[in-house]
Amino acid sequence: MDRFSEYRIMWVLVFFDLPTDTKKERKAAADFRKQLIQDGFIMFQFSIYMRHCPSAENAEVHIKRVKNFLPPLGQVGILSITDKQFGSMELFTEKKERRAPVEYTQLELF
């Protein structure tokens, strides 16, 4: 199988709705976002972060990391989709269609 197949490359999306009523809750939400960024996720929308992964196995590694730093309160969803599925997403800004984010190239060091 082609190592860079659009069916093998994965995107991991993390969706969340976290409480921010108290100072402690705001800190927990901010810490969760910071940890996502430290693990290579980028913001897609304010409460949706995504990460490009070269394989399903690599996606599982990052999903396990997210599960390890889940905040104590709120709702978090994690979704893995193929690059092919991600590429079929229709995106709109102010009713104008726009292209999906640029595909990332994963560099590997041996």
Domain assignment present for residue 105? The answer is no
- Where in the sequence is the domain holding 73, given as residue range(s)? 10-98
Query: For the segment 30-42, what is each residue's pLDDT rounded down to a tens digit?
Result: 999 999 999 999 9
Query: For the segment 7-17, what is each residue's pLDDT rounded down to a tens digit?
Result: 789 999 999 99
Domain assignment present for residue 1? The answer is no
Domain assignment present for residue 32? The answer is yes
Domain assignment present for residue 106? The answer is no
Domain assignment present for residue 29? The answer is yes
Q: What is the CATH number of the domain that holds 53?
A: 3.30.70.240
Domain assignment present for residue 73? The answer is yes
3-state secondary structure of 60: helix
Query: Cβ contacts of residue 29 below 8 Å, gap of 6+?
Result: 18, 19, 20, 71, 74
pTM (2 decimals)? 0.80
> What number of helices (H) and strands (E) belong to the chain?
3, 6
* 18 confidence band (pLDDT: 50, 70, 90): very high
Beta bridge pairs of residue 77: 15
DSSP states of 66-103 as a string?
HHHT--SSSEEEEEEEEHHHHHT--EEETTEEEPPPPP
Query: For the segment 26-72, what is each residue's pLDDT rounded down to a tens digit?
Result: 999 999 999 999 999 999 999 999 999 999 999 999 999 999 999 99
User: Number of folded domains in the chain?
Assistant: 1
Domain assignment present for residue 88? The answer is yes
Q: Say how far apart CA 20 and CA 96 lie, in whole Å.
A: 32
